[in-house]
Chain A
């Protein structure tokens, strides 16, 4: 089965600082999803990456997928308290699997004002 490792497990930053969260797969990723979750709530879709070398941005969040399609990073610029939450990466197991997602264990982000 596909394993996803996220690092760091938790992160505390001061408001205004930049930060990066990594997601590494043991197998080639057909699709990589980034979600944000507040504890006890559902997941908010952030971005989906499919092509090697792809990079997408939304507001102050940028996600990249490496050329080998085994590692993705999520970068937040000038963090704000509203960025706090749990960030989860999810891997698409491939078309033959009916697009099931396997998730990493998440990165808990705290942004101190």
Chain B
């Protein structure tokens, strides 16, 4: 299957600081990427849809000014958690949509565990 990477895999930061998480599709181009968060023992909750070359689409209840998304190229989307607080501590996972050659699949990155102190 296609490979999606995330960086960093773990990050610990102080309350009030900003953290950037990168999501890259390594062997395919993705016009659409998705950002999810997952709390312990819970399922994935979609936060936003990242569209290359245009603004991200946020799910209801997700603050766009707090979770900044940039999809600058067909292989890279970034999520910046601004002014992070302890309640933002979570597991953030991105996925990239592969739409080519008759395939329509989503591949997920390994996740980034954010801990805000």
A residues in contact (CB < 8 Å) with B: 31, 33, 35, 40-45, 48, 88, 90, 98-106
- The residue in B34, B44, B91, B109 that gathers the most chain A C-beta atoms within 10 A of its C-beta is B44
Which of under 10, 10 to 19, 20 to 34, or 35 or more describes the interface residues of B? Answer: 20 to 34
6 new A-B pairs (CB below 8 Å) besides A100-B34, A100-B46, A100-B49?
A35-B108, A40-B113, A41-B111, A43-B95, A48-B104, A90-B106
Q: How far is the CB of A104 from chain B (nearest CB, A)?
A: 6
Cβ contacts under 8 Å, A43 to chain B: 44, 93, 95, 108
Q: How far is the CA of A42 from the CA of B6 in the complex (A)?
A: 10
Known: A42-B6, A45-B105. A102 touches B46 (CB 8 A): yes
Question: Chain A: which residue is nearest B57 at the CB level?
Answer: A98
- The DSSP consensus for interface residues of chain A is strand
Cβ contacts under 8 Å, B107 to chain A: 45
Check A48–B91 contact: CB distance below 8 A: no
Check B106–A33 contact: CB distance below 8 A: yes
Cβ contacts under 8 Å, B1 to chain A: 45
Cβ contacts under 8 Å, B46 to chain A: 100-102
Q: How far is the CA of A98 from the CA of B59 in the complex (A)?
A: 13
Q: Of B6, B43, B49, B57, which one neighbours A104 at CB under 8 angstroms? A: B43
Q: How far is the CB of A22 from chain B (nearest CB, A)?
A: 15
Check A40–B111 contact: CB distance below 8 A: yes
Q: How far is the CA of A113 from the CA of B110 in the complex (A)?
A: 27
Question: Chain A: which residue is nearest B31 at the CB level?
Answer: A98
Known: A42-B6, A102-B46, A105-B43. A31 touches B104 (CB 8 A): yes
